[in-house]
Amino acid sequence: MNGSVRIRPLGEADLDAADRAHRLAFGTFFGLPDPAKFRGDAEVVRTRWRTDPAAALAAEVDGKVVGSGLGMDWGSVFVVGPVTVDPALWSRGIARQLMDELMALVAARPAVTLAGLFTHPQSTKHIRLYESYGFMPQSLIGVFSKPVVARVATAPGLLYSRLSATDQEQALAACRAVAAASYPGLDLTREIRAVAALRLGDTLLLTDGGGISGFAICHCSAGSEAGSGRCFVKFAAARPGAEAVFARLVEACETFAATAGAERVIAGVASGRRAAYRMLQARGYRADLNGLAMHRPDAAGYDRPDLFVIDDWR
């Protein structure tokens, strides 16, 4: 392919090609024998596009989609990436062109006060690329997992999918308040609704006398970002300092994973959230992968020792 690069919105007809480039890029980066099998039957490109098509871009050369740039709009936080290009076209500046347009998307969303991304701490090339856009390295991200232990069947808490439409709206408002207590304007409404609409898993809601005190968005099974046999805690939060609530929330995620028939539960957390990071380790979680959080502007965001938040931004 020798044609010029065109960056445009990613469409539904592009998903197969974008997914292939995504898997080949990461599978090659990690040295897999068959790069196309990266993450098995888990889905990232399709789930992100269906959650927010306006935050997804395609890179096209000679009429063929050869890469993509994805984003997640979490209210005041915009997660940039993953940005992936078919390895056959690496070092041609395509990733930079995708980043140019992704940053234009961020600029067009005035609610965003923090842009963040996950990258690989061993890759100086990736870090230099993102630094050139004003991102600065912050915390180590531990992508933790542990085996799911069979347990007596108990309810993991309230499930968003089982609420009435009216109660769902009230739950969304409560979840926004919990998230915003860690970072003003942080809003996972889009993710919660997508998990329910696309049947990717469910959102767990912890309650106390004052209403919802914590929530966890969980992907489970093939076609989700978890893949077969896994439960992926995409985001979870309790209020700042609420260590006991957070412990209950992690327990609820493990119970949900068991009831869903998962073999492993995956939960990532930035090391800047010291108490949350150490709690997962104390509960037997071990890192399968380490990432690096980069922020624009150069600020802690919600990576602070007293904050109890799970996410890994991959």
Which pLDDT tens digit goes with each residue over 253-292? 999 999 999 999 999 999 999 999 999 999 999 999 999 9
Q: Is the pLDDT of residue 153 over 60?
A: no
Q: Which residues contact 282 (CB under 8 A, 6 or more apart)?
A: none
What span, in angstroms and rounded, lies between the C-alpha atoms of 282 and 205?
23
Tally the C-alpha atoms within 13 A of residue 10's C-alpha that lie toward its C-beta: 32
Percent of the chain with pLDDT over 90: 95
What span, in angstroms and rounded, lies between the C-alpha atoms of 58 and 75?
23
What span, in angstroms and rounded, lies between the C-alpha atoms of 188 and 174?
11
Strand pairing category for 227-238 and 64-74: unpaired
Can you name the residues that pair with 65 across neighbouring β-strands? 60
Place of tokens 């915003």: 180
CATH 3.90.1300.10, domain 145-289+303-310, yes or no = no
Which pLDDT tens digit goes with each residue over 49-90? 999 999 999 999 999 999 999 999 999 999 999 999 999 999
Helix runs in 6-93, H state only = 15-29, 45-51
Residues 290-313: b if buried by 16+ CB within 10 A, e if exposed: ebbbbbbeeebbbbbeebbbbbbb
Read off the amino acid at residue 298. Answer: D
- The reported pTM is 0.95
Cβ-contact 67, 82 below 8 angstroms: no
State the fold for domain 5-112.
Aminopeptidase (3.40.630)
- CATH 3.40.630.30 range(s) for the chain read 5-112, 145-289+303-310
Q: Is the pLDDT of residue 151 over 90?
A: no
Q: Is the pLDDT of residue 132 over 60?
A: yes
Q: Is 222 in a helix, a strand, or coil? A: coil
